[in-house]
Structure 1
Amino acid sequence: MAYENNNQQERNNDSIFSKRLKAGKRRTYFFDVKTTRGNDYFLTITESKKRFNDNGYDRHKVFLYKEDFNKFLNALTETINYVKTELMPDFDFDAYNHDYSRDEEQDEVGFEATAASTEEATAPATSSDDVDKW
């Protein structure tokens, strides 16, 4: 999908695609595809963690560029498979394949999701969304 926006500053801040992954009560991961000034694409992975001592959030961001996608995916897959097969072969990783309820998702305040994340979170579930829900 091509994305065109004449305002350079606005384009650098917009996500073309966004996916939110709720991971427990205090952690959320955001996967955002963004554009460069040269109309290229890159991925940002943001971890947002609620602080214990106040109402703030700690955020950590990784920028992943297209030339590293395959290497990153291969290394991540190899690492996860090692943990699953060598370190914890008897652990039931599928027991954690559930989403949290919408009420729990709304409890997290302080991280403004992109417009795409907001639309995704409020959009009615589609058949592909239903597959991932338990």
Structure 2
Amino acid sequence: MAYDNKNFGDNRNNESLFSKRIKAGKRRTYFFDVRSTRGNDYFITITESKKRFDDNGYDRHKMFLYKEDFNKFLNALTETVNYVKTELMPDFDFDAYNHDQDAEGEETTMSTSSVSEAEDGGVDDWKM
């Protein structure tokens, strides 16, 4: 689920301008958020949130990604994922995991066009 936050003006509390949530299993969720600095620059936070086994809250791990590192990060991530897919697990059906749950709990299929584009033309061709 992605959404636009219309609070572009005074953003002192560092709210997300854009957010994408990925449910990964029963206890794990990833959040990709675009945030702004006081100087109206932008960066991405990647948060892993895992529900504790004792059901006593969540453990969160956050990573900050700055614009000057976007291309290097995407290149390294793409190279690493492609290595696993082609060298370590070439017969594994990664597309079997391209689903998510919508608001009503029904599974929906997600597109893999971004991954295909990366494999064909590299991450510099990705549209962000």
- Tell me the TM-score range normalised by the shorter chain: 0.7 to 0.9
Structure 2 match to 1:58: 59
In 2, are the aligned partners of 1:28 and 1:47 still within 8 Å (CA)? yes
The yes-or-no answer on 1:30 pairing with 2:31 is yes
Going by fraction, where is helix more abundant, 1 or 2? 1
Using the size of structure 1 for normalisation, the TM-score is 0.70
Structure 1, unpaired ranges of 5+: 106-129
**AA of the residue aligned to 2:64:** F
**AA of the residue aligned to 1:9:** R
In 2, are the aligned partners of 1:25 and 1:104 still within 8 Å (CA)? no
Task: Give the 3-state SS of the residue equivalent to 2:61 in structure 1.
Answer: strand
- For 1:57-77, what per-residue CA distance to the aligned partner results, in whole angstroms no more than 9, with x for missing partners? 000000000000000000000
- For 1:53-108, what per-residue CA distance to the aligned partner results, in whole angstroms no more than 9, with x for missing partners? 23310000000000000000000000000000000000000011111353559xxx
**RMSD (Å) for aligned C-alpha atoms:** 2.5
**AA of the residue aligned to 1:30:** F
Task: Measure the CA separation in 2 of the matches of 1:70 and 1:26.
Answer: 30
Q: Which has the higher contact order (CA 8 A, sep 6+)?
A: 1
Task: Give the 3-state SS of the residue equivalent to 1:9 in structure 2.
Answer: coil
- For 1:31-70, what per-residue CA distance to the aligned partner results, in whole angstroms no more than 9, with x for missing partners? 0000001100000000000110233100000000000000
**AA of the residue aligned to 1:5:** G
**AA of the residue aligned to 2:57:** G
Structure 1 match to 2:99: 98
Report matched runs for 1:103-122 at 5 Å.
none
Task: Measure the CA separation in 1 of the matches of 2:77 and 2:86.
Answer: 14
Call closer, same or farther: CA 1:50–1:103 in 2, change over 3 Å.
farther
For residue 14 of structure 1, report the CA deviation from its aligned partner. Answer: 1.1
Task: Give the 3-state SS of the residue equivalent to 1:99 in structure 2.
Answer: strand
- For 1:2-51, what per-residue CA distance to the aligned partner results, in whole angstroms no more than 9, with x for missing partners? 96423x523xx211110000011110000000000110000000000011
Task: Measure the CA separation in 2 of the matches of 1:55 and 1:37.
Answer: 35
The yes-or-no answer on 1:41 pairing with 2:39 is no
Q: Which moved more, 1:94-103 or 1:74-83?
A: 94-103
Task: Measure the CA separation in 2 of the matches of 1:40 and 1:3.
Answer: 15
